[in-house]
Structure 1
Amino acid sequence: MNNLNWMNHPAMKNIDPRKMAILIDLSKEAEGKSQDKVVPLLVKANTQLKAMNLTFTKEENDLLVEILTQDMSPADKQKVEMIKKMSKNFR
């Protein structure tokens, strides 16, 4: 996941530099980790954002999931998609 090509994604064009720093840290920390190890990192990132009174947009969230799942097995990716669908139902 050291590949930082995602930084060139259109969603990142005007992103707040503080959000970008959190995303870069998160992508580095999540590298090679399984889904169960990534979840605490997401919670940590979310806590950092809240402390700065920031949130990710839907497009940024979608990209974040794409970044974090790129090294996951198909089964783990499917679990993440299921969690995303379930979370939409709770909103």
Structure 2
Amino acid sequence: MDEWMNNPALKGIDPAKLELIRMAAARTSGKTGRDLAPVMLALITSANKQGIRFSPEEVSLILDILKEGKSKEEQEQIERTIRMTSSIFQKHMQ
């Protein structure tokens, strides 16, 4: 379940960000694309309260991690959900 933690792209990420990502991954386990938007927003909001900002590249990496192991249909649903809520995410990023 935690194979995503071995992703080489995570090696350079701040440990505080990595912990937030780990928490988000745990909360999204078994959820569909529609349920990911509130989790992502909570992740970004929680990070902001701690003075942590995710770059667009980091958000993209997080989404890739959250899509791992999902069916093609679920991955497409995640993409649609993120597109619909992207303005909210952009407001809370850098």
Which interval holds the TM-score relative to the shorter structure? 0.7 to 0.9
The alpha-carbon deviation at position 13 of structure 1 amounts to 1.1
- The one of 50, 53, 56 equivalent to 2:54 is 56
Superposition TM-score, scaled by structure 2 size: 0.73
State whether structure 2 residue 29 is matched by structure 1 residue 31: yes
Change (3 A) 1:25 1:65: same
Quote the residue 1:14 is aligned against.
12
The alpha-carbon deviation at position 41 of structure 1 amounts to 0.8
- Give 2:6's aligned amino acid: N
Deviation string 1:29-50 (CA, Å, 9 cap, x unpaired) is 1000111222111111011111
- Give 1:66's aligned amino acid: D
Gapped runs of 5+ residues in structure 1? none
Whether the 8 Å contact between 1:49 and 1:55 is mirrored in structure 2 is yes
Superposition TM-score, scaled by structure 1 size: 0.75
Whether the 8 Å contact between 1:35 and 1:72 is mirrored in structure 2 is no
Quote the residue 1:80 is aligned against.
78
Gapped runs of 5+ residues in structure 2? none
Change (3 A) 1:67 1:74: same
Change (3 A) 1:81 1:35: closer
Percent identity (aligned): 28
